[in-house]
């Protein structure tokens, strides 16, 4: 790269610099950990969906209405299909 400058009086100067860019052969973060991150994300999504489906079907565990004022938790729910 060459830089040439001049001023109002007509004085000039030139400077030359050589820049070398080398490729980095090490793998990127995504190349190194992408598969692991993808697998963990899939497991988390599958677990969240499973928990939502179990809750919708009235799965085992405490009632979601427990502690809510005005709802009698002693009443049986609708019959199961």
Does residue 33 sit within a domain?
yes
Scanning 1-81, the segments in alpha helix (DSSP H) are 29-56
Q: Which domain range does residue 54 map to?
A: 26-59
Distance CA 42, CA 32 (A): 18
Query: What is the model's pLDDT at position 61?
Result: 52
In a domain, 16, yes or no: no
- pLDDT tens sequence for the chain (81 residues): 999 999 999 899 999 999 998 888 889 999 999 999 999 999 999 999 999 999 988 755 555 555 556 555 566 666 766
Spacing of C-alpha 69 from chain mean position: 38
Look at residue 46 and tell me if it is in a domain. Answer: yes
The answer to whether residue 6 sits within a structural domain is no
Q: Is residue 43 part of a domain?
A: yes
Structural domains counted in the chain? 1
What distance lies between CA 44 and its chain's CA centroid? 12
Cβ neighbors of 77 (< 8 A, separation 6 or more) are: 58
Q: 56 in helix, strand or coil?
A: helix
Evaluate whether residue 5 is within a structural domain.
Answer: no
């Amino acid at each position: 790269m060459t830089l040439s400058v001049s001023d109002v009086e007509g004085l000039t100067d030139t400077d030359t610099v050589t820049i070398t860019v080398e490729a980095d052969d090490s793998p990127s973060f995504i190349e190194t950990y992408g598969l692991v991150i993808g697998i963990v994300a899939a497991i988390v999504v599958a677990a969240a969906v499973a928990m939502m489906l179990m809750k919708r079907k009235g799965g085992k565990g405490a009632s979601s209405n427990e502690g809510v004022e005005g709802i009698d938790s002693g009443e049986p729910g609708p019959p199961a299909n």
